[in-house]
Structure 1
């Protein structure tokens, strides 16, 4: 298996030129709305070969990969091939991935029980240890400049994003603490409302959007240069962020609600338009139950049947009886996986709605279990996504904006604002 540090063919263009193309500075005008083509057939062999070339030529950033929490639960050395999970170095190199944002995730339950900050620090320690153990493969990236430098050196960057703002623990000095440790975006909430924001998954909406502390936090994140991530928050919280933030924000791993009506975790068209007006970017989540309504309905039916069985038999979800029930149920009614085309439809929808400058990749690898679409099962498969985009008529320059250019632009704007405030 080739490695980034040894495979110099990935850098056939000078790095400044590659990044200029990624940031849309080549002067090429987007015509994606006219270019998008029928997708009844798979990508051609030529398109697949071109896709592999693109993947190895340009910087690919994925803003949400849940490796740290996966390794907290069951450690593996991801600098080598691993038997489990969606990410390891060899597979990432094969897929062309250069900048997987390591998700520093804390479960929502810790908001009440305590320990969020302790766990977040522990997970950051883990990422730092991974880098120290394989300095020929991995490097931390605290800025866009370091991202570029690592790319030029053939190293895989590990930028850090915090999923769930619970570790801030109501103290703005903790924001500075985590910035100093490398956190460059914060997902304000997760599956439950916290001291910062209401959650899209939570029927309880105590703040009616952002809390007063949450509003202060958004302002301070702007000043410090930490990107605000609106994935997971309630719709009201999203619009309050839009009203407060002075810089573009990101949705680090969300998809288009157009295809999943009623699923608040995804963004509806008005929200995507507001995000684009703000200059932000939606990074498309690959999980089948984010992408496909059929998958959502299949999974909801499964959960309802399981809950009914548990209640009727007074069983806990971790019992052997429930595990047997799940196996029997799925043998009869298998999980419905999304397809690569389903994922591409989300990219197309955002592009048609607001333009090529406002969409990117936030796969949620290692975060959505065994629900990834056919053709996008792990970090080796970004060329499949690229080939699909080529097939639908996207130009190389447009694809590079999706791969990293749009996200780098937003990150740079956050850095520039912080430098002047």
Structure 2
């Protein structure tokens, strides 16, 4: 491999700060994918070298570090961000510096940027499946909670619309700051217990998510009394939560580590062989791993030094990801994904209880959400688009 002419790629995931619990797993996935790429010949013989920064979860740091990474023109692509505020901060830097942000997290939709590729789910790919599952299998009386920023509030609004459209009720809705302390969580739990919902729809993120589950269990609640349903709670969170606080709760995700498909089994085996320990994978790990390999494919098939070539290459290919075969929709730059519903087990993994038969087309610009929405266009599959290879 030619080390004298490497290809540089930006990597920005936080190992410190309030979102570190999830971003550490995204960093792990990205670095593992880069190792795999280099072990298989790099980018047409050129070594792929990560240019890493730790923004500590702070949007201002993401913006400043993105500008710094892109300044000399060597980096064409940044892999990074978890929250919407982080992503939006980086995109403001990309307004001035040429480059592409590949974003591996679920988010609220209603964004389009020529400088971004979105590898996580949007609401028609996770909220809709979760709402239908809850309405079909549980009494539809919910209480909505979450962190106080863009994605949790918009996600809560969408879930509320879906539940009401199916005849359910929203009994309460509260959002807490990212530095919320245990007394605030206890006050929230007290109000939930007073309202007596059947389900809590939980949009807490990062450390706040861990604190919520621990406060929930600390106040004597369990899934047999009030079930918690989430779009964010993953295997990464479950490693940090008291198992008694998590068992029996529901997550809608594009990927679970417990999947038995060949691509996932192979990934877990390769990781253990390479690292000497089991992989701690989750939905964001999967997306971070996938986007790294798709960028590398695009660089190999075109020019690693041309932003236009890289973008066209990503749009012209698909990838056999651990979750299933995925691709970016050229019409909106979002990813086809494989939605699933999982219930937390005693061992911190998920039993998959529902899943789609095909990858679901992203529709990030739906203006209204109803449980009876016509999802014909949103459910088109990768096989319907022969230009993807």
Write 1 or 2 for the structure with the bigger share of helix: 1
Write 1 or 2 for the structure with the bigger share of strand: 2
Q: Relative contact order (alpha carbons < 8 A, sep ≥ 6): 1 or 2 greater?
A: 1
Band the TM-score falls in, shorter-chain normalisation: 0.3 to 0.5
| TM-score (norm: length of structure 2) | 0.33
| TM-score (norm: length of structure 1) | 0.31
